[in-house]
Amino acid sequence: MTRKERYTYILDYFRENVGITTTELMFGSAFQLLCATLLSAQCTDKRINEVTPALFAQYPDAKAMAKAEVEEIFEYVKSVSYPNSKAKHLVEMSRILVDAYGGEVPSETEELVKLPGVGRKTANVIQAVWFGKPTLAVDTHVYRVSHRLGLVPQDANTPRKVEDYLMKNIPLDEVSSAHHWILLHGRYICKSARPMCEKCPFETFCPKILENSKLGK
């Protein structure tokens, strides 16, 4: 099966069996999505969804969070990964949003990545989920699945290279959904340590490019 045929089969499957989908993070505004996405780095969405209701109840927008001290935010996020740095980033980010953007979240990558704790992946999530732009965030799940299923060549060895390759092969109007299709497939089926190949709809043609595998090279 050629790589082009792979894309066609996989996208057709997701389109017919999953449909339009989006993030599993809970949020009520662009600001809350930004906070939740920032917190989700190297942490599960499930954990973040357990933390954010209380956080957002106390600090629903940038203006409220900008008035908080880092120690106060830490108490709400101490159960997530890297809570000290994330609490600091949330407060600094909120203050910048208030001072430079009137409390609103900017929609452009160049502006988003200026915010503390916000990298390209987070910026792409915000643009795709909130602003409806055709951007594709490459997290560990998307990176892993893209390689395992042979959607990208092995020399696509950085998140940006994977992003660029996927963007060339996925229709623009499906980029956002495709990101979540691949991500959720990695989260629930094509897991890092123990992929559930017996439940995978792509088992019959997956090259199984697992870590240290010689297959598919």
Active-site residue numbers?
121, 139
Q: What is the rounded distance in angstroms from the CA atom of residue 197 to the CA atom of residue 104?
A: 43
> For residue 70, what is the enclosing H or E element?
helix 70-77
Count, in order, helices (H) and strands (E) of the chain.
11, 0
Number of Cβ within 10 Å of residue 200's Cβ equals 16
Q: Could you give phi then psi for residue 114, rounded to 5 degrees? A: -80, -20
Listed in order, strand segments (DSSP E) in 14-112 are none
Q: Are 62 and 110 in contact (CB under 8 A)?
A: no
